[in-house]
Amino acid sequence: MASFPDVGDPMPDVALIGADGATVRPSDFRGRKLVLFFYPKDDTPGCTTENIDFSRLAPEFAAAGTALLGVSKDPPAKHAKFTAKHALTAPLASDPLEHGLADALGIWTTKSLYGREFLGMVRTTYLVDAEGQIARIWRKVKVSGHAAEVLEAAKALS
């Protein structure tokens, strides 16, 4: 079984594509904390709620010296529509379909629904410290109250 990065390990520096089409990497955020929240799909109920919650708390994350970045496999144009439709302020990035950051983290994996297997994103959040080390991981996230819990952890991380 493959070994994936865990708490205390460096966040893999795999390039993502920002909503504006520009490349964005975890290393671009060195010197401040970073919350990378991975979610399955734009404009689905749980993912919409999660993105709205992080956007609502974005000023508090900024005050805690913490950048936000939501990540899914959706293309930048879909992120732009999703952002505009829900007035999201937390930036979004697209993870390449193959050999992306989610693959490097082991959270793009085989899932099953109604007996059908498919590749999908496991809703997971990473809190990365200012030096680029993974400080905390939330796996198989339940959306309700999650953004507030991550905010408290970001505030507590020096």
Instruction: Write out pLDDT tens, residues 33-80.
Output: 999 999 999 999 999 999 999 999 999 999 999 999 999 999 999 999
In this prediction, residue 20 has a pLDDT band, given cuts at 50, 70 and 90, of confident
- All structural domains of the chain, each given as residue ranges with its CATH number in brackets, are 16-156 (3.40.30.10)
Cα–Cα distance measured from residue 98 to residue 48, given in angstroms and rounded to the nearest whole number: 24
Q: What is the Cα–Cα distance from 75 to 44, expressed in whole angstroms?
A: 15
Whether the predicted pLDDT of 1 surpasses 60 = no
Mean pLDDT over the full length of the chain: 96
Catalytic residues, by residue number, are 47
| Cα–Cα distance measured from residue 49 to residue 124, given in angstroms and rounded to the nearest whole number | 15
Across 19-26, average pLDDT: 93
pLDDT given at position 146: 98
Whether pTM > 0.85 for this model: the answer is yes
